[in-house]
Structures are given as structure tokens and as C-alpha cells.
Amino acid sequence: MIRILIAHPSRLVCDSLRNILAEETDICVAGYASTVEELHFLLPHANIALLGAELGEENIFDILAEIHLTHPHVKVLMIGVEDNPQTILHYIEAGVVGWISTSESLDDIVHKVIAVRENRAFVSPVVAALMLERVAQLSRQPTSGAFGQWKTELVTTLTARECEVLDLIGKGYTNQDIAQELVIERGTVKNHVHNILRKLEASSRHEAVAMYQAGDYAQRPLAA
């Protein structure tokens, strides 16, 4: 049984998607969320999430990273994506398994949800070419284990507080959880995450955590 979580700020969009998906006998709509908090509350009940490109003030790529860290079994299908191959590539790099563009119909969503369940994907030739180009680019980068030494050394530029934030992200904490743990504002956490991604030249929180852990920096003592 496919258990779908619909996450979109528009109740009208959620209702429309639920109505079309409810017609399928092997699809169950586990619920829908209009905020990031509702999304994380409902994720344990779903195996596929239909995620809108905007959900509250949280950056969509931060949301994707948190989903992959806390609920890796949930496959994410983006909805309402612009027909821009570069944008689609960014979503693929962030771990989505499929997408529905703004030009596609509700029926297309059903077909793509079923394709995700069957581990199939629909990729245009332009996006496929970009993916191959990206793989080739990564293969030309110097490596040492999973990440090049030139990458892991960037972790040394992080402050003690940024290291604390990365430690907590690696444990699956959300921005709100981190704010409560460190007794700081959620907006401050978002600023720390932004600085971490910038310093590490990482495209997502997941990549930043992987770099941090690959260099065994998570075990080093933190400065006061």
C-alpha cells in the first residue's frame, strides 16, 4: 500500500490531490501538512511525500535534508516544479526521486507516484544530459575516501558553535530542536546553517554532515 503525505501551503491544492489519489485502490492519503511542523509530525505515517516547493519560511533544501536524515525511508516527489532543467537537477542532488512540473496534470501525479513505488523515473533528455555532466564533473574532483582532502579541510573553518549545530543535525535534530537544545532563536540556527553550507561549499545539510563526519571532526573537542 502506498501511503502518501501531501505537504503544500494551499489547502485547495491538498484537497485536489487527495481527491484524485483517493480514486486509486492501492493509494492511501496518510494526511496533509501546510507547515514544516505538521510535515515532520506526519512523516512516520507515510512512505511517499508529495512536497511543494514552498512550505513556510524554511528553505526547501533544508527541509529535504531533514527528511533524508530523520526519515530516510520516505521517498520525496516534488510538485509544482518549474520546467527548468537546472532547477530539477538541484532537486535531484538534494535527493528527490521524482517531480511534477507546473505544466503537468493531476493524472500525471498518479502515474508518477506509481512509478516511484516501482522504482522507475521519468527523466527528460535535457535533464539526463545535465545529470551525466554533473557525474563527470564530480569524477574529475580530487578524492580521498568519500570526500577529497580539500573538502574535509574546509570543516576547520567552522566555529565551535557551528560544529555544535552540525553535531545536532547529524543526530537528526530539526532547526527547532537545535534552537531548544542550544537555547537560541530558530532564526539564529538558520543563520548558522547558512554559514555552514557557505563555508563547506555544500549543497545540502546532508552533504555538510557527511563532510563533517568523514573527517572525524565530530569527535574533536569544541572550543568554549
The CATH number of whichever domain residue 114 belongs to comes to 3.40.50.2300
| pLDDT for residue 44 | 92
Residues 15, 91: one domain?
A: yes
- Grid cell locating 171: 543526530
| pLDDT for residue 138 | 57
Cβ count near 51 (within 10 Å): 26
| pLDDT for residue 221 | 41
- The total number of structural domains that make up the chain: 2
Q: Does the residue 144 lie in any domain? A: no
**Containing domain of residue 65, as a range?**
2-136
Q: Does the residue 224 lie in any domain? A: no
Check which CATH number belongs to the domain holding 197 and give it: 1.10.10.10
pTM, two decimals, is 0.61
State which residues of the chain have pLDDT below 70. 124-125, 130, 134-153, 214-224
Residues 96, 165: one domain?
A: no
| pLDDT for residue 223 | 40
Cβ neighbours for 75, distance < 8 A, ≥ 6 positions apart: 47, 48, 49, 97, 98, 116
Residues 103, 159: one domain?
A: no
Residues 20, 88: one domain?
A: yes
**CB–CB of 38/65 below 8 Å?**
no
| pLDDT for residue 39 | 92
| pLDDT for residue 220 | 47
